[in-house]
Structure 1
Amino acid sequence: MSEQKNRSPQDTHVHGPECRHDHGHGDGPSLAAEKPAAAKPRFKDLKVVGTKSAEAHVHGPSCNHDHGHDPAHGDGHAHEHGESCDHDHGGHGHHHAKPKRVRPPGYRAAEGGGVALQLDLEGALPGETDDLGRFQKLEAALEAQHGVIDVHLRRDQGYPEICLHYNPGLVSAATLLATAQRTGAQVAKRYKGHTWFVRGMTSADSATAIEHGLGKLTGVLSANVAYASERLVVEYDSETVSLKDIEAQAKSLGYTLEVPSHGHACSHHAHGGGLAPLLEMPLVVAAGVLLVAGWALEHFVPSLTWAPTAAWALSIVSGGFFAIRGSVKSLLQLRIDIETMMVVAALGAAVLGSWFEGAFLLFLFSAGHALEHRAMDRARRSIESLGALRPEVARVRRDGELVEVPVAQVLRGDRVVVRPGDRVPLDGIIREGKSSLEQAAITGESMPVPKQPGDEVFSGTVNCEALLEVEVTRLSSESVLARVVDMVAEAEAQKGPNQRFAQRLERTFAPLVMIGAVIFPVVLVLLGTPLEEAVLRAVSLLVAASPCALAISTPSAVLSAVAAAARGGVLIKGGIYLELLGKVNAIAFDKTGTLTVGKPKLLSTAPMDGVTEEDLLGTAASVEALSAHPLAHAIVEAAASRGLKPAAGSDMEAVHGKGLRAKVGDAVVTVGNLALFAGDTVPDDIRARVDRLEESGQTTMVVRRADRFLGVLGVADTVRAGARHVISTLKQQGIARTVMLSGDNSRVAKSIAAQVGLDEARAPLMPADKVTAVREMGREGSVAMVGDGVNDAPALAAAAVGVAMGGAGSDAALETADVVLMSDDLSRLPFAVSLARQATAVMKQNLVIALGVSGVLIIATLLGLTKISHAVVLHEGSTLLVVANGLRLLALRPKALGSTPLPSMEIAPAPRS
């Protein structure tokens, strides 16, 4: 719930004298009776349908799922998934089907002076994140418009905006905004994005080869490969090139593109990576055996002078099989990458007679890659394990019979029977039965959650107690579980500053090192160094400066962090949001549904002398029964809980912004705030009661029947158990400033802020005011906004990071926020912040390790202080070290935050109207 869920315009139950909201009452039932649970359905003969379709896909050799796929379905089975593919793969492209939240336009001064208009990049080009590809097309189109001076990408607000410098004498702001939106729509219609799963990548260099090869295809604007999650994102001109053309180009490079299946992080084809996963480790072992054999022959059978060399030559071929193949592809593309550097170094050593060093280099290089692949597969499997929680079949009630149906064939509206101990096969609403469900896979909640008819359940959760009958509301590919897996698998493609820095450095570094390796021996020879020694030192330089560790330093950390977060009930949608959350030093909170539970209660009755509590509450309930607002329900429910039967009210009249009047019997009853009684004489006792209740954080309602004041009622929302502990934990983590942004009156907001330990409360605020407040906070540092992701969207959008709660039950929260707390539990927020900070620290550590080891080795090589074998060991050791450092993030789990319930009088006001 949110503070912005308004009562209808006619309601006048106000939240105190300072409240300025529209409080509309609408006609509606006074109190809905709880629907009794239906009798448990009995099982009939269980039938099985669609057995062929039930056959699940294997997710590659590393996924460990026994899905019954034919082993022959391997590398030779290309199984193209082009535009005509009819599989339920989801086909999600560069951006998700539902739009993300769009920030409102801004008008800030241009960097160099003058006037500028800022548009959210997501609004103009959905799914775009950088200034390449489609953005360049939009930039050119806008700069051709009359009055536009310059167009560029701007990130000073913590998110990408299109900044348009313009001449106000030639074009008005309104005209420019309309032109920009129209042009953006035209560009977005023609230039599109698409995502594939890539089969056949053997190293991070494969990613560069694909990007370079596809980039040369006419009509491809940009190609971006997320190596860790094996995803390819392409931006292309739909009028020039088709998806089939792109898939054919990738195949010519030696890679197969596959449309990812919703809810799966791995390829759904056996042997999805081609020969590499099958042969990589055996070839490494063979290279090691041949390496040792050559050494043994050299020392124990010296008479066979040719034998050691032959063994080492075979070791070079075995250890360098995939590296040599990759380097040939790179050279055909006129590129120099890490694999090329390693192969050149090994062959250079062999030509100079250092066969052992050359074989040792490629053995360690291939062993490092094999271990790296195993490690990255572990991270991918941790994501895939979420999707594996979803059952393959569902027990569906059709035509009075219970049949087993593959989940992919279950339709919306079907009734699914879930037995105790079974996992829920699809998202839906309980129609019959009561039970408790273990939702840890989705929300991270450790304790089962009680459910009854009308409650929502999620695919992959476990039914703990009783038989349930669930009406399906989402198809298998649309389930919360499937969407979480999709978003986590694609998170690496949303690269943060550290990722982009490492990528740029790697692409620049490799060619420079190759140039240096050519120049360095020439300089040494000119200085009098023997040719053989000069070349060997150049080979050592190639090894020392090869940026292998740099290439994998950030992807391993990002994939591990988002996987750990997902298992802990937090969805982080990209590396960029992971890094931004790690930098946050201030957090703004919505109140209702975030810091408070979101369901108002009657907490206080303050009758006047001679008036009973039953008379006061019953009279108010007669009027409130005419409204369907949560505040009115609080009064009616309180009356019902005390066994009161209020008289029926009639002829309700709303006084805008102040309160209600209605006839109860022959008397006119007025219920509202003090402003409703302006001009009347209000007893001092009434004013005193109002002040006392509002100071304690309650919303007050004064009740008068005819000319007699009966008393005051205090209604409030309750503070979430443990909210104060959460705020305290965040401050211990280094969050310097915590602020509540509330729509309630100032007195109420400050009372709540004091109860939970916030530094500041800003109230009363309308949605636009909240946006302004978040932007003001953003000028002093990076700020996160925490809300429910629905009515808080403008404020969430204005923050550097938008954090939404209750994502498992809210499509809007899943789509609009950057970070989603899947459960309706604020205690996940400190975990998310802590994880983001640790992940950012690990990325920086990895960059320091990668660059530091390379730097030391380069200097040692230039000074002649190291040998090839030393450089090889340290180089490969640094690569494995950064991978292991990144993978340790997988072990992080949320700590149990003690739920410290606040005393009953520590309360929060009712939902914002």
Structure 2
Amino acid sequence: MEKLQLKIPVILPQVPNEKDSCVERLIQKLQAKEGIEKVHIADANGDDVPQLCFHYDPDIISIDRIQSLAESTGAEITEKYGHLLIEVKGIRHTRQARSIEKSLLTINGVLEVSVSGSGMVRVEFDKGITGFGAIKKKIEKQGLTIIEPSVDTETYLQKMEVSNGEEKSEDTQDKEENQHVGESEDHVHKDGEEHNHKEGESEAHAHGGIFGKNTELIFAIICGTLLGIGFGLSYVESIPDWVSLSLYVGAYFFGGYFTAKEAIQTVAKGGFEIDFLMLVAAIGAAALGEWAEGALLLFLFSLGHALEHYAMEKARKSIAALADLAPKTALLKKDGKTEEVGIEKLSIGDIIVVKPNSKISADGVVVNGKSSVNQAPITGESVPVDKIPVEDTSRDYSADDDIKDENRVFAGTINGNNTLEIKVIKEAKDSTLSRLVKLVNEAQTQKSPTQLLTDKFEKYFVPSVLILVGILLFAFLVIDEPFSASFYRAMAVLVAASPCALAISTPSAVLSGVARAARGGVLIKGGRPLEDLGVITALAFDKTGTLTEGKPKLTDVVPLGDIEENELLKIAVAVENLSDHPLAKAVVRDGKERLKGTDINDASDLEAVLGKGIKASLGKDKIYIGNLDLYEDLDEAKPSEEISNKVKELESDGNTTMLIRRNKEYIGIIALMDTPREAAKETLKKLKEIGIKRMIMLTGDNQKVADAVAKEIGLTDAWGSLLPEEKVDAIKELKEKESKVAMVGDGVNDAPAMANSTVGIAMGAAGSDVALETADVALMADKLETLPFAIGLSRKAKAIIKQNLWVSLGVVALLIPATILSWANIGIAVAFHEGSTLVVVANALRLLAYKKD
């Protein structure tokens, strides 16, 4: 396993030096993340800024992810490393993506590269050594076209332009390339017409051009047609053999065109790919007079490639559809007039008008109008959400993470039947939709454990096959057979052993799984969390805001003596109305709801007793509301044992209780509780049905409260009175017992525990930037019920990956001995080999149609 070492300059605000305990805490949090082996302070080298040295595995975690994690824990990363996410055209299959990776890694200063078969290229590089110019040049040398840089790339290029290309480099070539970064930006962004023209040319170049982007598939069909006609005519005695032969030659041309082109390009660069081996096998078959078998090989191989390209394109389009959700223009309201502007011109604080049944152009808060909004494109919610204006329309909400769902709207969601006026709280490039698209695109480039394993397997398998083929070529020297028989057998083995299906089996399933999840309002950041989520056996939940509503509700009103329930409530609401304590607000809110418009008198003379309760005057009466401790030191009129027992009984069920006294008489008890979410019980039941063995709640609340909530919603365990660092220890303990544990939280307070778990799952990520960045899996809506869908999809993806591996490896394992022993000829080997490629591609695409339960 390749390990890299990386020094990142880190600034911790208000931290005097690297010996501060905050630095130690930061290191502990970062080391918990899978893929980071060790974090320590680098040796001093005269820098003013402390340098953190990371020892990490680039196959598991990227530099950009390390920087995000460090920033989420309070650090500021200096601008030393660049991160580009670029979409390109011209990648036909996964093996080509791998050779592009190798090529880009040869650029001086490039630290990490990951290329997906769907056309996403992720590059991490040292800004002091290289830049976009050098990377772009190398990409174009591979015969690819940059479609459109991501927001990150664009921002980076703008910074580069401002600095006038002052980056330093270690060699002249990189210096020259960096001097043209400004030109690169112009070429990519500003020359719209010229760019589109060139893009068309490149596409034509990549796919043959005659029939547009479907040229490869059409060529494969023509090849198959010519082969079929030629094969049929070969059985008609009156037709000369040269007719069939000429049709086979035509089939060779159409079936071998792209294979030969790619093979020549690869060999010219000093590479060696399966395409070349297939070409050799086809030429070998022709040399032996087996034209029909060679044409069959090229037909199925080209058809497999064309369908592989189609499968990747289909999954890519499913993801790309996310980017098309947001409208390109908005109706900006200024000085009482509205004008249509491009969304990139919107600034924070602008007011936009959204007409009925049209898409919302920016993230913002409603300042005027009431409507229902279809949020399915972002959060996956099937029911439209009612929206109302914020109370303070003049306030700046751009830095708030806790805006109410009824006030907040997202770009790309669809307005209902009424007009809304919305205050913009995020620029277009920072909107939830933009970040979602970026993270999903990045997820395509993150390889899964199975893919890393198959890549490693291929690395040793292909040379072994070539050695075996070399040995079989000289079999005629050992056994009594002509060279032509040995050559034919060697070619058959070559075809049988080519791991085409293996190469596409995992990435196609991962891409389809990530695309389907995004459509369902779940962001899965790559192949690793997709696979891991499918095998977890235990789920740990934060309590407040995850399993519960996150706000106390009035649960019980218990009158004592002759007083009626409504009268008791009126007294409680009147007094609590004077307080701004969260529990008091809950009593007032829920009390008024129960009393429904009943007149409530005003109380006066509020006096708070810290941690115990309050006193106030209501008319001529003195009212006391608080816990049992309030009455301990008050006077001689203590509550009876019966009343005390009733209070303790309510508390044992997880309630926070308030005992109410009027003058000297105890008149009632009210109880409040952070109540479980409505969907919690049903969701946990579904999770149990799909095989999650343990569901544990981790909370800072006392054990009694934890037990009460756990009993009500059906958890297997509840661990209360935990500090944040104790939650981390709890996760570590769970991992030892269950091996695979997911932590579900809001992504803010629970970040350390989530980092220590196998998979960190954030709730309500659409409203929280921190949750969106730090989690491995983000449930965009603040809805627990999407969790079974995410786990079910991951299990389906894991099962499909396993099936694909069995098919691809099983076919190779059967065909190699069969061709060595001459039980199967090239025709049979081709049919099984290419047939298996088609099977794994079709199997992976099933994930796009995965249904929510």
Shorter-chain TM-score: what band? Answer: 0.7 to 0.9
The 1:855–1:120 alpha-carbon spacing in structure 2 relative to 1, beyond 3 Å, is farther
Q: Measure the CA separation in 1 of the matches of 2:62 and 2:620.
A: 62
Aligned counterpart, 1:246: 135
The 1:626–1:798 alpha-carbon spacing in structure 2 relative to 1, beyond 3 Å, is farther
Q: Measure the CA separation in 2 of the matches of 1:648 and 1:120.
A: 53
Aligned counterpart, 1:713: 670
Aligned counterpart, 1:166: none
Aligned counterpart, 2:806: 848
Q: Measure the CA separation in 1 of the matches of 2:819 and 2:253.
A: 26
Q: Residue 586 of structure 1: which of 510, 534, 538 is its match?
A: 538
- Any idea what the Cα deviations from partners look like across 1:447-502, whole Å, max 9, x if unmatched? 22211112111222222222212222223332222322322222132222112112
Q: Does 1:760 align with 2:717?
A: yes
1:238 counterpart letter in structure 2? K
Structure 2 runs not aligned, ≥5 long: 1-5, 12-23, 47-52, 64-69, 154-188, 190-194, 208-212, 391-406
Alignment of 1:38-49 (within 5 A): none
- Any idea what the Cα deviations from partners look like across 1:626-677, whole Å, max 9, x if unmatched? 543432211222454434545454564452x444556778987654333444
Q: Does 1:817 align with 2:778?
A: no
Give the number of the structure whose residues are more often helix, by fraction: 2
- Any idea what the Cα deviations from partners look like across 1:124-173, whole Å, max 9, x if unmatched? 89xx9858xxx99x89967999xxxx996599xx98799xxxxxxxxxxx
What TM-score, normalized to structure 2? 0.80
Tell me by how many angstroms 1:220 deviates: 2.6
Q: Residue 821 of structure 2: which of 835, 859, 863 is its match?
A: 863
Tell me by how many angstroms 1:382 deviates: 1.6
Q: Does 1:628 align with 2:551?
A: no
The 1:541–1:122 alpha-carbon spacing in structure 2 relative to 1, beyond 3 Å, is farther
Q: Residue 685 of structure 1: which of 642, 647, 654 is its match?
A: 642
Tell me by how many angstroms 1:378 deviates: 1.5
Q: Measure the CA separation in 1 of the matches of 2:383 and 2:330.
A: 25
The 1:381–1:462 alpha-carbon spacing in structure 2 relative to 1, beyond 3 Å, is same
Alignment of 1:361-510 (within 5 A): 361-454=297-390, 455-510=407-462
1:223 counterpart letter in structure 2? V
Q: Measure the CA separation in 1 of the matches of 2:452 and 2:87.
A: 21
The 1:121–1:881 alpha-carbon spacing in structure 2 relative to 1, beyond 3 Å, is farther
Q: Residue 789 of structure 1: which of 729, 747, 761 is its match?
A: 747
Q: Does 1:213 align with 2:144?
A: no
8 A contact 2:554–2:591 mirrored in 1: no
Q: Measure the CA separation in 1 of the matches of 2:449 and 2:552.
A: 43
The 1:159–1:246 alpha-carbon spacing in structure 2 relative to 1, beyond 3 Å, is closer
What TM-score, normalized to structure 1? 0.75
8 A contact 1:686–1:711 mirrored in 2: no
8 A contact 1:121–1:129 mirrored in 2: no
Tell me by how many angstroms 1:216 deviates: 2.4
Alignment of 1:166-245 (within 5 A): 190-227=80-117, 229-245=118-134
1:769 counterpart letter in structure 2? E
Q: Residue 692 of structure 2: which of 713, 730, 735 is its match?
A: 735
Aligned counterpart, 2:217: 281
Helix, strand or coil for the counterpart of 1:588? strand
Tell me by how many angstroms 1:724 deviates: 1.5
Tell me by how many angstroms 1:241 deviates: 2.3
Tell me by how many angstroms 1:367 deviates: 0.9
- Any idea what the Cα deviations from partners look like across 1:80-139, whole Å, max 9, x if unmatched? xxxxxxxxxxxxxx9xxxx9xxxxxxxxxxxxxxxxx998799489xx9858xxx99x89
Q: Residue 674 of structure 1: which of 609, 621, 628 is its match?
A: 628
Q: Measure the CA separation in 2 of the matches of 1:232 and 1:421.
A: 36
2:544 counterpart letter in structure 1? T
Aligned counterpart, 2:830: 872
Tell me by how many angstroms 1:789 deviates: 2.3
2:483 counterpart letter in structure 1? L
- Any idea what the Cα deviations from partners look like across 1:683-725, whole Å, max 9, x if unmatched? 2133122123224432112334665544322012332223222
Figure out how many residues of one structure are paired with residues of the other and give that number.
746
- Any idea what the Cα deviations from partners look like across 1:789-822, whole Å, max 9, x if unmatched? 2333233223211212222222222222211222
Q: Does 1:571 align with 2:460?
A: no
Q: Measure the CA separation in 2 of the matches of 1:799 and 1:319.
A: 49
2:206 counterpart letter in structure 1? L
Tell me by how many angstroms 1:567 deviates: 1.7
Q: Measure the CA separation in 2 of the matches of 1:708 and 1:439.
A: 52
2:692 counterpart letter in structure 1? I
Aligned counterpart, 1:800: 758
8 A contact 1:437–1:464 mirrored in 2: yes
Tell me by how many angstroms 1:523 deviates: 3.2
After superposing the two structures, state which structure 1 stretch, 677-686 or 211-220, moved more. Answer: 677-686
8 A contact 1:588–1:786 mirrored in 2: yes
Helix, strand or coil for the counterpart of 1:598? strand
Q: Measure the CA separation in 1 of the matches of 2:822 and 2:461.
A: 21
Aligned counterpart, 2:49: none
Q: Measure the CA separation in 2 of the matches of 1:883 and 1:448.
A: 36
Tell me by how many angstroms 1:321 deviates: 1.7
Aligned counterpart, 2:270: 334
2:795 counterpart letter in structure 1? R
Q: Does 1:746 align with 2:746?
A: no
Aligned counterpart, 1:699: 656
Q: Measure the CA separation in 1 of the matches of 2:849 and 2:576.
A: 52
Q: Measure the CA separation in 2 of the matches of 1:492 and 1:516.
A: 35
The 1:535–1:739 alpha-carbon spacing in structure 2 relative to 1, beyond 3 Å, is same
Helix, strand or coil for the counterpart of 1:893? coil
The 1:779–1:120 alpha-carbon spacing in structure 2 relative to 1, beyond 3 Å, is farther
2:104 counterpart letter in structure 1? L
Q: Measure the CA separation in 1 of the matches of 2:783 and 2:248.
A: 60
Aligned counterpart, 1:544: 496
- Any idea what the Cα deviations from partners look like across 1:868-898, whole Å, max 9, x if unmatched? 1111111111001011111101111212xxx
8 A contact 2:35–2:57 mirrored in 1: no
Alignment of 1:652-671 (within 5 A): 652-655=607-610, 657-660=611-614, 670-671=624-625
Q: Measure the CA separation in 2 of the matches of 1:144 and 1:234.
A: 27
Q: Measure the CA separation in 2 of the matches of 1:301 and 1:239.
A: 73
> What's the C-alpha RMSD, in Å, of the aligned pairs?
3.6
The 1:118–1:836 alpha-carbon spacing in structure 2 relative to 1, beyond 3 Å, is farther
8 A contact 1:639–1:645 mirrored in 2: no
Tell me by how many angstroms 1:559 deviates: 1.1
The 1:259–1:836 alpha-carbon spacing in structure 2 relative to 1, beyond 3 Å, is same
Tell me by how many angstroms 1:256 deviates: 3.0
8 A contact 1:408–1:475 mirrored in 2: yes
Aligned counterpart, 1:169: none
Structure 1 runs not aligned, ≥5 long: 1-93, 100-116, 163-179, 896-913
Q: Measure the CA separation in 2 of the matches of 1:843 and 1:766.
A: 39
Give the structure, 1 or 2, with the largest relative contact order (CA under 8 Å, sep 6 or more).
Answer: 1
Q: Measure the CA separation in 2 of the matches of 1:159 and 1:670.
A: 59
The 1:477–1:378 alpha-carbon spacing in structure 2 relative to 1, beyond 3 Å, is same
Q: Measure the CA separation in 2 of the matches of 1:234 and 1:216.
A: 12
The 1:893–1:210 alpha-carbon spacing in structure 2 relative to 1, beyond 3 Å, is same
Helix, strand or coil for the counterpart of 1:604? strand
The 1:139–1:219 alpha-carbon spacing in structure 2 relative to 1, beyond 3 Å, is farther
1:833 counterpart letter in structure 2? I
1:409 counterpart letter in structure 2? K
Q: Measure the CA separation in 2 of the matches of 1:220 and 1:161.
A: 13
8 A contact 1:263–1:387 mirrored in 2: no
Helix, strand or coil for the counterpart of 2:249? helix
8 A contact 1:585–1:734 mirrored in 2: yes
The 1:385–1:257 alpha-carbon spacing in structure 2 relative to 1, beyond 3 Å, is closer
